Amino acid sequence: MDSALLIHRLHFAFTVTYHYLFPQLTMGLAPLIVILKTLALKTNDESYDRAARFWAKIFGINFIIGVVTGIPMEFQFGTNWSHFSRYAGGVIGQTLAMEGVFAFFLESTFLGLFLYGEKRLTKTQHWFAALMVFVGSWLSGYFIIATDAWMQHPVGYQRVADGSVQLSSFWQLVLNPWALWQYAHNMSGAVITGAFVMSAVGAFYLLSQKHVQQGRIFVRVGVIAALIASVLQVFPTGDAQGRMVARNQPVTLAAMEALWETQPGAPLVIIGQPNVPEQKIDNPIIIPKALSFLTWRRWNAEVKGLNDVPKQDWPDSIPLLYFSYHVMVGLGTIFIAVSVIAAFLLWRQQLYSARWMLWILLLLFPLPYIANTAGWMTAELGRQPWLVYGLLRTVDGYSKMVSAGNAWFSFLGFLGMYTVLSILFLFLVRREIEHGPDPDPGPLAQKPGVVAAGPVEVR
């Protein structure tokens, strides 16, 4: 545990994993808030405005943690990964600086207007502010994905005399085919988080018979959005992303599936533990030939195995990569199943009274966070041992001047700081959920229990 490389990797992995718990909800909720504001504008129904206001509060708390944990990410490129920054800054500096100039300003400006300006703006202007918050947060996501995509699949660069790489084509960098699919896959993943969080809060209100009318809005919007996003997550985005990995990083695919030998008609492993020393899978449940079909669309296509690649180019933790990938895929399947059944019940007008389904929706909300985290772990562990795929190894990228002791110091500091942030976040969000959306200002709303106007059948 005194290898500086290991601590620098843990440092970045921990801070980025923790950070991404927040932007995924920000980016997932932003379009849903726009939908609520649009419904309010179209139907003139004030309850959608109250729903939007409630989610704006959760969004605001979440956004602040996202901002304060995001600043360390930009800093760490310099502090912990200075050799990488020196090598690649001439290329990825473009996308990182563009994120600041184009996305952050847009997002922070309109978030201020959205959160504090509702009384000063007209309804349409306030809707527009919500739309711009959505655009800003999704633009921010694109620039980060474009940066990561360049590390996965470097394009638009040239090597120069001092050993670094420099930009040669701006449009190749910005329109990297890897970035386009990765972005689509990542953003539908964020919407899955936003949608299931929204439906979970709605389900909680329906189960506890508080804020019932608002709870129904949350469940309805959440379930429909979750269904659309869960399907898009697998096809076409997940499928395209997987085939891109197969074409460009065959060794990564082999490690994700723990496929040791190159073979035609390769099987797909559903469950099982990779046994690296013996090069097999323990307790496997497999679908024969499915991997070949999924990657090359032919049942008997040849898929490359790990043993055809020098060991030094293998991802350095095959089991962790394998499990990240399988957890992601398994959870993605669960999301489709749950959202299809929930949407069916919604269509049959039985969802609001189907307690068993509401319980499932309530308990489901941590899983999208796990799935998104596992997805990112698949991408980043799969890129190993490279920092920039095929160009710069991870071992050559960290700050050689920063000793393991100094890196431990700040790593522990972040652990402590983020523990405090987590407690504050959970505490404040719990209070907002407990308080709930504003009550209906209509005449019926004078007495508490009457807010739940309308017959609610709860078994």
- Token code pair at residue 86: 């020196």
CB of residue 84 vs another protein: minimum separation in angstroms? 8
106 binds another protein (CB under 8 A): yes
Q: Which of 80, 199, 241, 295 binds another protein (CB under 8 A)?
A: 80
State both tokens at 218: 């949350």
Among 53, 86, 243, 393, binds another protein (CB under 8 A): 86
Kindly tell me which of 83 and 243 has the beta carbon lying closer to another protein. 83
Residue 395 binds to another protein (criterion: CB under 8 A): no
Segment lying near another protein (by CB under 8 A), choices 90-98, 180-188, 217-225, 256-264: 90-98
Q: Is 309 in the site for another protein (CB under 8 A)?
A: no
Residues in 227-256 that interact with another protein by CB under 8 A: none
Reported as type and span, the H/E element at residue 194 is: helix 177-207
Using CB under 8 A as the binding rule, the residues of this chain from 48 to 77 that contact another protein are 60-61, 64-65, 67-69, 71-72, 74-75, 77
Q: Can you name the residues that pair with 286 across neighbouring β-strands? A: 269
Closest separation in Å from C-beta 93 to another protein:
3
Rounded Cα distance between 200 and 108, Å, is: 27
Residue 330 CB, nearest distance to another protein (Å)?
Answer: 35
Site for another protein in 425-454 (CB under 8 A): 428, 431
Task: Let me know if 276 is exposed, middle or buried by CB neighbors in 10 A (0-12, 13-18, 19+).
Answer: middle
Between residues 319 and 413, which has the closer beta carbon with respect to another protein?
413
Which tokens hold the place of 89? 């800054």
For residue 216, give the nearest of 34, 448, 32, 47 by alpha carbon: 47
Answer yes or no whether residue 104 interacts with another protein by CB under 8 A.
Answer: yes
Interatomic CA distance for residues 196 and 188, integer angstroms = 12
* Residue 135 touches another protein, criterion: CB under 8 A: no
For 288, the 3-state DSSP assignment is coil
Location of structure tokens 């473009």: 94
If one asks whether residue 114 binds another protein (CB under 8 A), the answer comes out as: no
Give Cα separations from 360 to 75, 325, 339, 340, 355 (angstroms).
40, 24, 10, 13, 9
Helix or strand holding residue 175 (H, E): none
The answer to whether residue 142 forms part of the interface with another protein (CB under 8 A) is: no
User: What is the total count of residues that contact another protein (CB under 8 A)?
Assistant: 66
| Distance set, CA 108 to CA 49, 93, 135, 277 (Å) | 21, 21, 11, 51
- Burial label for 161, CB within 10 Å (0-12, 13-18, 19+), is exposed
Give the rounded distance of the alpha carbon of 74 from its chain centre.
18
Q: Which is nearer to another protein, 104 or 344 (CB)?
A: 104
Q: Roughly how many angstroms between the first and final C-alpha of the chain, as a whole number? A: 55
Which CB, 98 or 456, lies closer to another protein? 98
| Interface region with another protein, contact rule CB under 8 A, candidates 229-237, 310-318, 420-428, 445-453 | 420-428
Q: Which residues are within 8 A (CB) of 109 and not within 5 positions of it... i.e. 6 or more apart?
A: 132
What is the pattern of x (binds another protein, CB under 8 A) and - over residues 147-166?
-------------x---x-x
Q: Please name which of 111, 226, 201 lies closest in space to residue 437, comparing C-alpha atoms.
A: 201
Instruction: Considering the complex, state which of residue 64 and residue 334 has its C-beta at the smaller distance from another protein.
Output: 64
- Examine residue 424 and tell whether it contacts another protein (CB under 8 A): yes
- Quickly count: other Cβ atoms within 10 Å of residue 443's Cβ: 7
Exactly one of 16, 98, 207, 228 binds another protein (CB under 8 A); which one? 98
Query: Does position 1 bind another protein by CB under 8 A?
Result: no
Q: What is the DSSP letter of 22?
A: T
Distance CA 165, CA 399 (A): 18
For tokens 């933790």, name the residue: 317
Q: In the bound complex, what is the minimum distance in angstroms from residue 291's beta carbon to another protein? A: 40
- Verify binding: residue 115, another protein, rule CB under 8 A: yes
| 251's tokens | 């060794």
Closer CB to another protein, 102 or 296, in the complex? 102
The window from 45-53, 118-126, 195-203, 378-386 that contacts another protein (CB under 8 A) reads 118-126
Q: Does position 96 bind another protein by CB under 8 A?
A: yes
Q: How far is the CB of 390 from another protein (least distance, A)?
A: 20
Footprint of another protein (CB under 8 A):
60-61, 64-65, 67-69, 71-72, 74-75, 77-80, 82-83, 85-86, 88-91, 93-94, 96-102, 104-106, 108-109, 111-113, 115-120, 160, 164, 166-168, 170, 399-403, 406, 409-410, 413, 417, 421, 424, 428, 431
